[in-house]
Amino acid sequence: MIGMLKNTVKQAFLRRIAASDRKAFAQRGLDLHGLSPSHWNLNINESGHLEAQGCDLVSLARQYGAPLYVVDRERLARNYRAFYDAFADHYPKVVIGTSYKTNPLPRVISALHECGACAEVISHFELWLALKLGVPGSSIIVNGPGKTREGLELAISHQAKIINIDGLHEIEWIADLMKKYDHRQRVGVRVVTSVGWSAQFGLGIGNGDALKAFQQLRAREQIEPCGIHVHLGTGIRNIETYLKAIKEVLEFARLLKRDLDIDIRYFDFGGGFGVPTVREFSEIDVMLRANNMPVRPLDTEACPDIAEYGKAISALMSQYYPLADPAAPTLIFEPGRAITSSAQMLLLEVLATKAGANGVTNIIANGGKNIAMPTGYEYHELFVASKMNAPRSGRCSVFGPLCHPGDILFKLKKLPDVSAGDILAIMDAGAYFVPNQMNFSNPRPPAVMLQEGKAELIRERESFENIISLDQLQAETGRCDSAAVNQ
């Protein structure tokens, strides 16, 4: 009885939220059901198809086969430039390290290096990849809570730009490894502030662990403690969180100078910057989904422009350091999402549709959670790329092919009438899609890169043979004895 009452109250509460969103969006003349393709500089061509850089995305999907990632190299470069300028317009020394883990497609990473980005790596593999891509050690920032001795040795042997330690145990390891070398290694400490991620990350300023780390680092002859690193989270959509954390970091640096005579020359304020076209689901979104209601619409204006971060963070820095001083510290950022998210989309093909409950159409697409994990916890825009001029006629849910009840990509999205063969475009697939993908019963998709209106294959589709390439099949033939298989 009480449960039923609670449920009725919850439903009424959610309906009120939906109604107030409807009203607010109508007042502002915004489409409640989705964003315009203009947010990604996409056009609609004469065939009513979605088009990027003059390339018909439906034709691309047919040519290369869906699922297919499409990277817009020009947008990638523009996003990088906008990020760099946002800070460099106000601050004299700015270094951007591209977060390898956010989008590990080697050609995406190389494109960003060509724009001038350093590498920000969080694993031995990523460090290896940076070196393989030709990045010198002096342009590699080494982070991560799970560094290995092997990874650290590789970083040290290439004199990494900075190694940001994540725990006290790394000090011993680095000091020990340094005995083989005669240089001094620049080392920073990832700190935890009163806001942002903590748990397994970094060392607290508040509990004295960060200070302890600097005391220990200072005692090591071959270690040059000179950096503070902080990374607050991902998809953050407010400046105040950054300003609060950075102020605590700058106060801590002041204390390090006063008490330990340590000069912090590198302030690495991490990544985490949100983008206008993606929003992490709130608790209310989660409740809406659980109660078979569509999630709240996305308000792109609720996300500050990166230029505003640049202005505010530089202004705060100037309260602590005279910016005209040649000895002013270097500001490092490690954006992932802010640069790569909107420069990549994922095309899927509709395999079938089924009539669902309450007039909802269930769409089965040929890619699911295996390649589009973030749609389960973030708002991403979805277009029917092959029917851009058709009116949104009804509510649809989009499922993948995984034969798993959790393989739901979108719930109750208002879409045009969809049929088998239509091409869907999931937007902002440039951050955390590729690293989160897996071959759950399916090969991983290929990727093409668009530049000057031409598409180039930058990753091939995984073959069935690739999927089992590391497995030891049965000795000799690799085949089962047909007599032993139940028939």
Ligand X SMILES: Cc1ncc(COP(=O)(O)O)c(C=O)c1O
Residues that bind ligand X (rule: CB under 6 A) add up to a total of 17
462: its two tokens: 């995984």
Q: Which is nearer to ligand X, 234 or 386 (CB)?
A: 234
Question: What mask, x for binding ligand X by CB under 6 A, covers residues 183 to 212?
Answer: ------------------------------
Q: Which is nearer to ligand X, 334 or 349 (CB)?
A: 334
Q: Which bin fits 237, alpha (ψ -120 to 50), beta or left (φ > 0)?
A: alpha
Q: What is the CA radius of gyration of the chain?
A: 25
Considering only residues 84 through 113, tell me which ones interact with ligand X, judged by CB under 6 A.
Answer: 99, 102
- Asked if 374 is part of the footprint of ligand X (rule: CB under 6 A), the reply reads no
Question: What mask, x for binding ligand X by CB under 6 A, covers residues 113 to 132?
Answer: -------x-x----------
Q: Which is nearer to ligand X, 37 or 336 (CB)?
A: 336
CB of 241 to ligand X, least distance (A): 12
- Asked if 56 is part of the footprint of ligand X (rule: CB under 6 A), the reply reads no
Considering only residues 62 through 81, tell me which ones interact with ligand X, judged by CB under 6 A.
Answer: none
- Asked if 338 is part of the footprint of ligand X (rule: CB under 6 A), the reply reads yes
Q: Which is nearer to ligand X, 271 or 304 (CB)?
A: 271
Considering only residues 288 through 307, tell me which ones interact with ligand X, judged by CB under 6 A.
Answer: none
Q: How does DSSP classify residue 428? A: -
CB of 374 to ligand X, least distance (A): 11
DSSP 239-276: HHHHHHHHHHHHHHHHHHHHHH-PPP-EEE----B--T
Task: Specify the stretch interacting with ligand X by CB under 6 A; choose among 126-134, 259-267, 336-344, 458-466.
Answer: 336-344
Q: Which is nearer to ligand X, 144 or 367 (CB)?
A: 144
Pair type for strands 394-399 and 55-56 = unpaired
CB of 80 to ligand X, least distance (A): 13
Task: Specify the stretch interacting with ligand X by CB under 6 A; choose among 46-54, 74-82, 108-116, 331-339.
Answer: 331-339
Residue from 335, 368, 374, 445 in contact with ligand X (CB under 6 A): 335
The Cα 230–Cα 179 span in angstroms is 28
Task: Specify the stretch interacting with ligand X by CB under 6 A; choose among 286-294, 334-342, 343-351, 456-464.
Answer: 334-342
The Cα 146–Cα 151 span in angstroms is 10
CB of 234 to ligand X, least distance (A): 3
DSSP 24-86: HHHHTT--TT---GGGGT-EE-TTS-EEETTEEHHHHHHHH-SSEEEEEHHHHHHHHHHHHHH
Question: Helices (H), strands (E): how many in the chain?
Answer: 14, 23
- Asked if 270 is part of the footprint of ligand X (rule: CB under 6 A), the reply reads yes
Whether the CB-CB separation of 379 and 295 falls below 8 Å is answered with yes
Whether the CB-CB separation of 361 and 325 falls below 8 Å is answered with no
The Cα 271–Cα 306 span in angstroms is 12
Provide the 10 A C-beta neighbour count for residue 220. Answer: 18
Pair type for strands 118-121 and 140-142 = parallel
Q: What are phi and psi of 424, to 5 degrees?
A: -100, 145
**Can you say whether the dihedral through the CA atoms of 60, 62, 65, 68 is positive or negative?**
positive
Question: What mask, x for binding ligand X by CB under 6 A, covers residues 214 to 253?
Answer: -----------------x--x-------------------
Task: Specify the stretch interacting with ligand X by CB under 6 A; choose among 214-222, 265-273, 407-415, 416-424.
Answer: 265-273
Whether the CB-CB separation of 231 and 270 falls below 8 Å is answered with yes
CB of 84 to ligand X, least distance (A): 14
Binding site for ligand X (CB under 6 A): 99, 102, 120, 122, 143, 231, 234, 270-273, 334-338, 431
